[in-house]
Amino acid sequence: MKLAIDAMGGDNAPKAIVEGALLALEDFPNIEIQLYGKQQELQPFLKEHPRLEVIHCEEVVEAEDDPARAVRRKKDASMTKILEAVTEGRADACLSAGNTGAFMAGGLFKVGRIEGVARPALATTLPTIDGQGFLMLDLGANADAKAENLLQYAIMGYIYAKKVRGIDNPRVGLLNIGTEDKKGNELTKQAFTLLKESDINFIGNVEARDLMDNVADVVVTDGFTGNMVLKSIEGTAGAMMNLLKEAFLSSAKTKVGALLMKSELKKLKGKLDYSEYGGAALFGLKAPVIKAHGSSNARAIYSAIRQANIMVEHDVTDVIAKTISANQQ
């Protein structure tokens, strides 16, 4: 299995990318990694490995580049090259922590949609209090959506949760402003009807306040709503950790308390740590395209590689394509 990785994307590139790739090579003997980037910048962090190949690229897609034009204009950029590697069959999946908009646009333009998928969706696993996590999509690939799109998102999410996360019969919920069947706007009402008539394990409407209580394994919504919920969860989790830190460091007494609770606080941080959950996958494309968090450390890159590995191993893209085709028929 060959994975193409943009070594120049993200706040901590290339150090974190290279280190994460080396960690993954030690744990996953079935993969070969192709690192795309500027050889001279990667060199200080590289170690010789028989399953590691470095492909030099002169250009980099920067965070401030226009997403719609970056991949088309920068022909020798590391992000462009990993997408081409997948398209041309030289890699089975690709991964970047770089410019999200450019990577999504490039995925659509270079890799292409699965036949029958109207709109791809950006999906990631978010934390729950019990540590199980839940998959949420769409997180911003499409600001607008139709009820038919939400049905496809649900199908793709169900397959991913079953194949990659190992959940036997994933519970699929529709994000709404109430749990009653008739709640919501026209989009959610129409989507509710379609989901109820589908073959997936649809449990009905779910509310945002219950998401971290593991109310569902897969939560479906439009990209506009999903992106706001994602950023609200990230912001709230970060603020809570900062408030706890401030409280525990406020006096000698609280510092002693923090020392006594060190292991419990570490567990709490682990539950809220994005680096353990992998990246966001762009569902609906012809090959796995994984977007790692922009501030990914080596552990987060490792988790994203693990995610790509499982997606390829379980042929998630092909299963999604066959299911979408059968559903249309």
Q: How many CB atoms sit inside 10 A of residue 214's CB? A: 16
- Does the pLDDT at position 294 exceed 70? yes
- Does the pLDDT at position 270 exceed 90? no
pLDDT category, 143, cuts 50, 70, 90? confident
Residue 141 CA to residue 137 CA, distance in Å, equals: 9
Domain ranges of the chain: 1-117+284-328, 125-274
Reduced to 3 states (helix: H, G, I; strand: E, B; else coil), residue 180 is coil
Of 3.30.70.1900, 3.30.420.10, 3.40.718.10, 1.10.3720.10, the CATH number of 125-274 is: 3.40.718.10
Rounded average pLDDT over 33-45: 95
Of 3.40.718.10, 3.90.1150.10, 3.10.130.10, 1.10.3720.10, the CATH number of 1-117+284-328 is: 3.40.718.10
Residue 235 CA to residue 229 CA, distance in Å, equals: 10
Closest CA to 5 of 75, 104, 116, 85: 85
pLDDT of residue 295: 84
**Fold match between 1-117+284-328 and 125-274?**
yes
- Does the pLDDT at position 239 exceed 90? no
Find residue 120's DSSP bridge partners: none
pLDDT of residue 248: 86
Reduced to 3 states (helix: H, G, I; strand: E, B; else coil), residue 168 is coil
pLDDT of residue 182: 87
Whole-number average pLDDT of the chain: 90
pLDDT category, 154, cuts 50, 70, 90? very high
Residue-wise DSSP of 254-292: HHHHHHHTHHHHHHHHHHT-GGGS--EEEETBSS-EEE-
pLDDT of residue 167: 93
- Does the pLDDT at position 276 exceed 70? no
- Does the pLDDT at position 273 exceed 70? no
Record the tokens describing residue 70, joined without a space: 């970056």
pTM, entire model: 0.83
